[in-house]
Amino acid sequence: MEASKVIHAIYTDDDVLMSAVKKVKAEKHHIEEIYTPFPVHGLDKAMGLAPTRIAITSFMYGCVGLTVAIVMMNFIMIEDWPQDIGGKPSFSYLENMPAFVPIMFELTVFFAAHLMVITFYLRSRMWPFKKAENPDPRTTDDHFLMEIPVHDNEESLAALLKDTGAVEIKIVDKDEDAH
Amino acid sequence: MEYKISNRLKIGAIICVVLGLLGVAYGFYESHQYKTVEDVKVLLANEDGHGGEHAGEAHGTAGHSEEASHDTMTHANAGQAEEAHAEGHEMSHEEHVLHQIHNRPYAALYVAAFFFFMIALGVLAFYAIQYAAQAGWSPVLFRVMEAITAYVLPGALIVLAIALFADKHLFVWMDPEVVAHDKLIQGKSGFLNKGVFIGLSLFFIFGWSAYRYLVRKFSLAQDSSDNNSYFKKAFRWSAGFLVFYIVTESIVSWLWVMSVDPHWFSTLFGWYVFASMFVSGITVIAMITIYLKSKGLLEFVNDSHIHDLAKFMFGISIFWTYLWFSQFMLIWYSNIPEEVTYYITRIEYYKLPFFGMVVMNFVFPLLLLMNSDYKRIPWFVVMAGIVILCGHYLDVFNMIMPATVVDRWYIGIPEIGSILLFGGLFLLIVFTALGKAPLLAKGNPLMKESKYFHY
């Protein structure tokens, strides 16, 4: 159920924010989003976010890179034109493998790193002309903002948030075009 | 948090030592059954008989190339008497084999002694790094590390004693007969002579154990001190020791390990041996920590500490592989005869141990310890640790054996006996040392951070 109204609670301290998150979670309210100027250690755990799987994708990309390197060099150096270059044994891939290892290594790292970064951009929807999704510019400097959807419980929610140490509480209509 | 070596462990270790001694004695007895060239002739004839047509085939089809490769091979591995070739003073094939058979128990003893010594020295270096870096996670493990380093002094003296006892059975340059006929060794005799060998070795052993003695003393004194002066002292001594260590470790790896092949040299050999001792040392720290924790003695060690140790095992395993491969690939690529013979011997006669150790020391830990969750699971870390330790035993094996027994290697009673002997001794000394102080170095100013360390 999409709420049309959200409540924005603003904090000025990450410790206060952390305890607020725990309190709000304990009251079984759903936290839509939290905006912070810097990574707050343990925030994802407190919010109950699922762990990232980006390391797993990276491992798989690395395997792809290794395969690309092996297939490429096996074809070029061994199958297509097995020349004698300085007496290196180009009879089979294995015999000449030490010479290929630097490239195998670099391509593994290259694929693992770059594809993982691109995956990160795609999954977190970041690209050069992307419109910034920032409800309050102060959250990029020294304020923390917690966004909670409202379901006809404005007063109690606002009271709860005030209780957790929020310095500012705003109820805003959610702009459907923002995302 | 007090620990006392349990009777079961003590008896187990003593049984290991006794069994090991029997195995070593059997090794010497067995190898000295072959006293003369005639005995070897009988042995070789028997082997030919066993080999049957296979042997005949090899002689028939590859007779020529075999002879050629044999020539480079012996030249390379500095086995017993190839130096003689240079002077045209021939030694028969049987005599070579006889020497190799005689070398085996010495080499087996030396490999195992060096392996356990290197664990202790690796831990000492790791310990010094923790102090010098003022690491906040590791102080809870300091007493474990201190206990392992108790083996540095006895272990190093044992290695030196075996080196001198084995004499020319391990180090051909200790044989004046060989040196007299070998221009290459003569050229190196300013460094490779017994005076330098003993003098430097004793000096290094003194340096390592002096540091170990001092830092242990500071660590114990810090427990009951009301200020941090001992910690600061330990910090300064550790920083100084690391400088001393990296120089002496490098030189000792030339003296004790590389010089079994006095015709061969490699510039990154010191680093390579260092990586091996460092990763084995860290592995042993992790295993002993997990053991003590399983006994409920280290409740202040949490799985983040295990995770960090496993990360080190993982990272240094890869570092070892990097050095192994750099040494191998540079020599393979340029293929200069005087260098490459080292690897020809190994690939020709030690294919399985040589490449097997790469699998054990690289592929296995790489795949097993890459996952962050697995690094927190004790039995995963222990399993990886066992494979890494076996792999690094093989590493030392591959450094020593090809130069001393060449193709007459086998991991049999002398080798396993030696492992049991020094393994038992190692356990006895380490766990006795563990019992001598509380398991928590409570005076360390970083202790609180370390106790609450969380990754």
Per domain, the residue ranges of chain B are 7-33+64-451
CB A59 to CB B372 under 8 A? no
Name every chain B residue with its beta carbon within 8 A of the beta carbon of A87: 335
Q: Which residues have CB under 8 Å from B357's CB, separation 6+? A: B391, B392, B394, B395, B398
pLDDT tens profile A62-74: 999 999 999 999 9
pLDDT tens profile B394-421: 999 999 999 999 898 999 999 999 999 9
**In DSSP terms, which residues pair with A145 in a beta bridge?**
A10, A35
B7-31 vs B93-132: helix axis angle to the nearest 10? 150
pLDDT at A153: 83
pLDDT at B37: 84
Could you tell me if B355 lies within 8 Å of chain A, comparing CB atoms? no
Whether the per-residue pLDDT at B288 is higher than 90: the answer is yes
- What is the average pLDDT across B433-452? 92
CB atoms within 10 A of CB A143: 19
Contact present, B433 and B32 (Cβ < 8 Å) = no
Query: What's the mean per-residue pLDDT of chain B?
Result: 89
- What is the average pLDDT across B426-445? 93
- What is the average pLDDT across B28-50? 84
pLDDT at B90: 63
Using pLDDT thresholds of 50, 70 and 90, give the confidence band for residue B58: very low
Nearest CA in chain A to B331: A98
Name every chain B residue with its beta carbon within 8 A of the beta carbon of A98: 325, 328-329, 332-333
Contact present, B115 and B283 (Cβ < 8 Å) = no
- What is the average pLDDT across A9-36? 92
Q: Which DSSP category does A176 fall into? A: G
Contact present, B415 and B115 (Cβ < 8 Å) = no
- What is the average pLDDT across A84-113? 95
- Single-letter code of the amino acid located at B323: L
Give start and end residues of each alpha helix (H) in chain A.
Answer: 14-26, 43-47, 54-73, 97-123, 154-163
- How many contacts (CB atoms, under 8 Å) link A and B? 12
Using pLDDT thresholds of 50, 70 and 90, give the confidence band for residue A155: confident
CA distance, residue B106 to nearest chain A CA (Å): 34
Could you tell me if A101 lies within 8 Å of chain B, comparing CB atoms? yes
Name every chain A residue with its beta carbon within 8 A of the beta carbon of B325: 98, 101
pLDDT tens profile B327-345: 999 999 999 998 999 999 9
CB B325 to CB A59 under 8 A? no
Q: Is the dihedral of CA B293, B121, B164, B267 positive or negative?
A: positive
Q: Which residues have CB under 8 Å from B222's CB, separation 6+? A: B228, B230, B231, B234, B441, B443, B444
Could you tell me if A167 lies within 8 Å of chain B, comparing CB atoms? no
The pairs formed by B38-41 with CB atoms below 8 angstroms and a separation of 24 or more are B39/B98, B40/B94, B40/B95, B40/B97, B40/B98, B40/B101, B41/B94
CA distance, residue A5 to nearest chain B CA (Å): 38
CB B329 to CB A87 under 8 A? no
> What is the rounded (10 degree) CA torsion for B6, B8, B11, B13?
-80
Nearest CA in chain B to A59: B370
CB A98 to CB B333 under 8 A? yes
pLDDT tens profile B109-142: 999 999 999 999 999 999 999 999 999 999 999 9
- What is the average pLDDT across B428-446? 93
pLDDT at B1: 62
Distance of CA B347 to the CA centre of its chain: 20
pLDDT at B449: 93
CB B329 to CB A98 under 8 A? yes
pLDDT tens profile B187-210: 999 999 999 999 999 999 999 999
Using pLDDT thresholds of 50, 70 and 90, give the confidence band for residue B154: very high
> Would you state the structure tokens that stand for residue B434, as one six-digit string?
């563990």
CA distance, residue B329 to nearest chain A CA (Å): 6
Per domain, the residue ranges of chain A are 2-51+142-177, 54-123
Whether the per-residue pLDDT at B81 is higher than 70: the answer is no
Name every chain B residue with its beta carbon within 8 A of the beta carbon of A55: 372
pLDDT at B4: 83
Whether the per-residue pLDDT at A5 is higher than 70: the answer is yes
Q: Please give the Cα distance from A165 to A12 (Å, whole number).
A: 9
> Would you state the structure tokens that stand for residue A27, as one six-digit string?
């009251």
Q: Please give the Cα distance from B278 to B129 (Å, whole number).
A: 11
CA distance, residue B322 to nearest chain A CA (Å): 11
pLDDT at B49: 67
Could you tell me if B363 lies within 8 Å of chain A, comparing CB atoms? no
Could you tell me which CATH number the domain at A2-51+142-177 has?
3.30.70.120
Could you tell me if A48 lies within 8 Å of chain B, comparing CB atoms? no
Using pLDDT thresholds of 50, 70 and 90, give the confidence band for residue B40: confident
Per-residue buried b or exposed e for B227-237, using 16+ beta carbons within 10 Å of the residue's own CB: eeebbebbbeb
Could you tell me if B46 lies within 8 Å of chain A, comparing CB atoms? no
Whether the per-residue pLDDT at B73 is higher than 50: the answer is no
Whether the per-residue pLDDT at B218 is higher than 80: the answer is yes
Nearest CA in chain A to B328: A98
Name every chain A residue with its beta carbon within 8 A of the beta carbon of B333: 98-99
CA Rg, chain A, in Å? 26
Contact present, A16 and A164 (Cβ < 8 Å) = yes
Name every chain B residue with its beta carbon within 8 A of the beta carbon of A52: none
Say whether A10 sits in a helix, a strand or coil.
strand
**In DSSP terms, which residues pair with A144 in a beta bridge?**
A11
Nearest CA in chain A to B372: A55
- What is the average pLDDT across B348-363? 96
CB atoms within 10 A of CB A84: 8
Tell me which of A11-25, B59-73, B276-290, B422-436 is least confident.
B59-73
For chain B, percent of residues with pLDDT exceeding 90: 81
- Residue to substitute from B325, B330, B354, B455, interface A, most A β-carbons within 10 A: B325
- What is the average pLDDT across A84-109? 95
**For B329, which of A55, A87, A101 is closest by C-beta distance?**
A101
- What is the average pLDDT across B54-65? 40
Name every chain A residue with its beta carbon within 8 A of the beta carbon of B370: 59
CA distance, residue B340 to nearest chain A CA (Å): 14
ipTM for the predicted complex: 0.89
Whether the per-residue pLDDT at B346 is higher than 70: the answer is yes
Using pLDDT thresholds of 50, 70 and 90, give the confidence band for residue B303: very high
pLDDT at B54: 45
CB B333 to CB A99 under 8 A? yes
Contact present, A7 and A158 (Cβ < 8 Å) = yes
For chain B, percent of residues with pLDDT exceeding 70: 91
For chain A, percent of residues with pLDDT exceeding 70: 96
CB A55 to CB B372 under 8 A? yes
H-helix or E-strand spanning residue B354: helix B351-358
CB B328 to CB A98 under 8 A? yes
Q: What share of chain B is helix, strand, coil (3-state, %, to 5)?
A: 80, 0, 20
- What is the average pLDDT across B256-262? 94
CB A98 to CB B370 under 8 A? no
Could you tell me if A105 lies within 8 Å of chain B, comparing CB atoms? no
pLDDT at B69: 44
Q: Please give the Cα distance from A74 to A95 (Å, whole number).
A: 11
Name every chain A residue with its beta carbon within 8 A of the beta carbon of B372: 55
- What is the average pLDDT across A77-92? 94
